[in-house]
Amino acid sequence: MAAFASALALASALATWPHQELVRLAPLAAMADIACIESNPDGTMKQVTVLAWVPAPAAIVREVIAQSERYHEFMPNLTRSSREPLGDGRWRSRWKIELPVSSFEGTNVYSLEHTDAGDAVLLRGDGDARYRYEPLAVGDGTLLVQYGYTDVKGSNAFVRSFIKRQQMMEHGLALSAQMMFVTAIRAEAVRRAGGARAAGVGGAAGGRPSFDALLARGQVAMMRTGAGGSLGEVSVIDRLFASEARVIEVIARAGDYAGYVPGVEHSYRKGDGFLIEMSLPIVTWVTTFVLRVEAHAVDGVGVDGDLAGARWRWDLSARGEGETLAVYRVRQKLDAGSVVLRKLFQYQPSLEYGVNVALGLVWMRAVRGRVEGWGGVPVRRRGRR
């Protein structure tokens, strides 16, 4: 029985990276929040790792994370949080989040684990949810590393409807939950440190930043903040095992999207562009995009419809024979025309990050499947109505 319990704990453990590999990414995290999104072979979520730069000392960041009883003071929509000692160094926290269309509540059990960079804060929640926080001191600030897994498939009917329609929403909603905590913890740590200050990465990061270690295990997302704290640009990065020419050929054939991109109901030529209709359970976007093909990129601009003004771009780099590094960048306002999404994003801004990243993953995975030859036809209808 003990052996079985040990094997079960090992199987559910979050996979980490060596601290030195993560610290090299601090200069990039100082420019944009980073997430590595790992999937199982069947496409379901394995884990999400968030790297966030915090311009405050690591000791303060660790203190904020460990004081679960104060979470409701600074986390939006968190109406309850507690701290109940369990007598063995661990403690329990009961929490509740309330949103306009739904509410969530549960229990987390916290513990500490000593590492060479100080104590990591671990927590286990309901439904096999698990998180690991490692505040790593870098230069004058902190690289906050948050490993996480949340079984959002076991959530309420509203969440399940998203995942049923778009499998990648599982990844995006899990990322939203993690970003809610990370952004709130960062803001509170900065406040306790005396307010915003220029905490630089300095020379302590060591080595040239590279996403290779993250890309070896999953897709990488970068989330930039715009004016007033709103979402700016989202980038999704992955390795596609096909030639750059083949990738450009597939992306440029926008009329074929409905045949292999989940959620795209229609895609066909309209004037100088392509009309693309994409649906989620509570919203449908119909937009005409004009494409421009360049030597190592494909640009798309929304000129008419729900996402008019949106822009996406694929930047491509050949990495040897038969491999292409693809960066899908997008800037768009998904709440255009949807009162429900607008209200959700207002109440919980991290949802906007998660949904944008999830859609970026949809496009990346679909294009990768197409160019590598394993993508199916996962939508009901194809082509023009």
Half-sphere exposure for 151 (CA within 13 Å, toward CB): 10
Residues 126-136: tens digit of each pLDDT: 878 899 999 99
pLDDT bin (cut points 50, 70, 90) of residue 208 is confident
- Decide which of 144 and 335 is more confident: 144
Residues 367-379: tens digit of each pLDDT: 999 999 987 543 3
Does 2 have pLDDT greater than 50? Answer: no
**Which pLDDT does position 8 carry in this prediction?**
36
**Which pLDDT does position 3 carry in this prediction?**
42
pLDDT bin (cut points 50, 70, 90) of residue 204 is very low
176-188 average pLDDT score: 92
**Which pLDDT does position 342 carry in this prediction?**
74
- Decide which of 251 and 384 is more confident: 251
**Which pLDDT does position 376 carry in this prediction?**
52
Output the six-digit token pair for 317.
Answer: 């780099």
**Which pLDDT does position 160 carry in this prediction?**
57
Query: In terms of C-beta density within 10 A (0-12 exposed, 13-18 middle, 19 or more buried), how is residue 338 classed?
Result: middle
242-266 average pLDDT score: 96
pLDDT bin (cut points 50, 70, 90) of residue 20 is very high
List of domains in the chain? 14-198+211-217 (3.30.530.20), 237-372 (3.30.530.20)
Does 4 have pLDDT greater than 80? Answer: no
User: How far, in Å, CA of 74 to CA of 192, rounded?
Assistant: 12
pLDDT over 70, % of the chain? 84
**Which pLDDT does position 384 carry in this prediction?**
38
**Which pLDDT does position 282 carry in this prediction?**
75
Does 196 have pLDDT greater than 60? Answer: yes
